[in-house]
Amino acid sequence: VSLLNFRRHLMLALTSCLFWNTFDMSAAMDTKPNILLFMADDLGIGDIGCYGNNTIRTPNIDRLASEGVKLTQHIAAAPLCTPSRAAFLTGRYPIRSGMASSNRYRALQWNSGSGGLPADETTFARLLQKQGYTTGLTGKWHQGVNCESFNDHCHHPLNHGFDYFYGMPFTLINNCQENKPPELDAALQAKLWLYSQLIALAVFTLTAGRLTGLISICWKTIVCFTLVGCIFFLSWYSSYGFVQYWNCILMRNHDITEQPMRLERTASLMLKEAVSFIKINRHRPFLLFVSFLHVHTPLFTTARFLRKSRHGLYGDNVEEMDWMVGKILDALDKEGLNNNTFTYFASDHGGQLDAQDGSAQLGGWNGICKGGKGMGGWEGGIRVPGIFRWPGVLPAGIAINEPTSLMDLYPTIVDLAGGTLPQDRVIDGWNLMPLLQGSVQQSEHEFLFHYCGSYLHAVRWHQKDSGAIWKAHYVTPVFHPPGAGACYDRGFCPCFGEGVTHHDPPLLFDLSRDPSEAKPLTAETEPLFDTVIRRIGRATAEHRRTLTPVPEQLSFHNMMWKPWLQPCCGTFPFCWCDKEGDSTDSL
């Protein structure tokens, strides 16, 4: 009898536990969750512990994975920041919004360019605003600022659905730190400086020859040479010699607070703003997009974390970012918001392999994946970490091995907020909640298209009935030196021209068997080769029929430095200010 009673009590307890768990989950789903999005800059999938790195310490990011869901095939829509982030914000391939380039400038180069995320694109922030969310962005934007005047802010975050912005309208580059080699269009900078010097030498020689009578030349010719030299010098000096002032600035909403920014306190300011946003908005639903400046070059790291990792400056920078993640999660916990917050962590694309300082590697590690940042369709440039946590709603400590995309965040969080997707455009992302909760076992993605700028380099086919994940490369960059894994001669792999190889038939891999893309299949080694290539070809043709012509935001004209568009906190060209003072303690 006692055994029977014990069984009854056990069944009652289990039933009660199941009821309350289901009730808690239902209650959590019925309320609008807070949305917290972390995005690293240039972080490789192999750089954090929960993805296999046992030498860089990332306990806070690892904790997110242990308390939530980890995606192992999370794919960026582009291997470079500006187009990838445009796709993330809009749920659409960047070629649909004009944020894919047909020239060698594949990311925005200036705060004073006229290109950027078009005003008619609908970001997830704008849709969440309509659902009563307070929306904030701290950190990197890199989607443009102005269109026609220095303060129209047509591309600004506040014109794209964010109620609050604190951060860089651009991105960190070497030029933001003194004594670092230039990163922004260094080849053109060198040419302008060389031409300036050559013309100056010519003017000096001609003038000396004219005065001594050794050279017979009229003064008008010398004046013309002088004017041409001045043009080259001013082009170098104005738009390149002052990059730190033009691009390395901090803004709070529409106001510039630092020009140029002081890197030694930037991380502290970003952390302070993120924690403050959570505290101020703790009593209402909020979206906070924490867009880290870490771990992009120049890898500026505060003294507290320098020389602490086993991977030099890059490892120090990753560990500092992880610490910041922990502090923001602590703020959530302090306000009692953990269980009502949908949290996400990812990188905008893979680590940069060809970022070096002499023999020192300054970029990330992409694990077993081939290639890296900027390298077309190779897996190392587009496969990124993807971690989700929502206690009581999402399972803890599981991994999902299905193809997903950064574009999937758009429909996922819009659905969680109770919104509806735009019906007047193609949305390429899918709602991930059924997959994350385990109610379905397969991703909605059948095909994913991998662009390098506006050029289609590769296509992925998730053949669901067999479990195969085929990937066909139509174009690949030429690595140099031969046998290397990056374009060390150029510093960045191109998307077209002499620096790429076109493949006909395309290179074919089955990522389910060869995730490193080491052994291309052929018609002789793979019986399904022709069938797979034809199916991918048909899907590509169908995809291209969904594309409509749009203005190219990254055209050469839109990318040019335009003085009249330069954000300036003084009177141009005397742009300098420091409104932060010593308002924050160092980390």
**Catalytic residue numbers?**
81, 142
3-state secondary structure of 32: coil
Give the side-chain half-sphere CA count within 13 A for 380. 25
Query: Do β-strands 341-347 and 34-40 pair in parallel, antiparallel, or remain unpaired?
Result: parallel
DSSP category for residue 163:
S
Cis peptide upstream of residue 260 (ω within 30 degrees of 0): yes
Q: Using omega within 30 degrees of 0 as the cis cutoff, is the peptide bond preceding 295 cis?
A: yes
User: At a CB cut-off of 8 Å and minimum separation 6, what does 54 contact?
Assistant: none
Residue of 113, 115, 112, 114 whose CA lies nearest to 100? 115
Pairing mode, if any, of strands 398-405 and 360-361? Answer: unpaired
Cβ neighbours of residue 343 closer than 8 Å, sequence gap 6 or more: 36, 37, 38, 64, 68, 329, 332, 388, 389, 390
Q: Identify the residue whose tokens are 């209402």.
A: 284
In this structure, what are the phi and psi dihedrals at residue 486, rounded to the nearest 5 degrees? -160, 180
First to last CA, the chain: 64
Rounded to whole angstroms, how far apart are CA atoms 488 and 576? Answer: 36
CA dihedral 89, 94, 98, 100 (to 10 degrees): 130
Could you give phi then psi for residue 448, rounded to 5 degrees?
-125, 135
DSSP state of 406: G
Ramachandran area for residue 517 (φ above 0: left; ψ -120 to 50: alpha; else beta): left
Is 39 strand, coil or helix?
A: strand
- Output the CA torsion sign for 551, 557, 558, 562: negative
3 state DSSP class of 322: helix
- Residue 512 main-chain phi, psi, to 5 deg: -70, -25
In this structure, which amino acid lies at residue 127?
L
Q: Please report the sign of the dihedral spanned by the C-alpha atoms of residue 122, residue 124, residue 126, residue 130.
A: positive
**Of how many residues is the chain composed?**
587
Residues 6+ apart with CB under 8 A from 281: 134, 136
| Count of CB atoms situated within 10 Å of the CB of 121 | 25
Q: Any idea of the CA torsion for 494, 371, 44, 50, to the nearest 10 degrees? A: 160
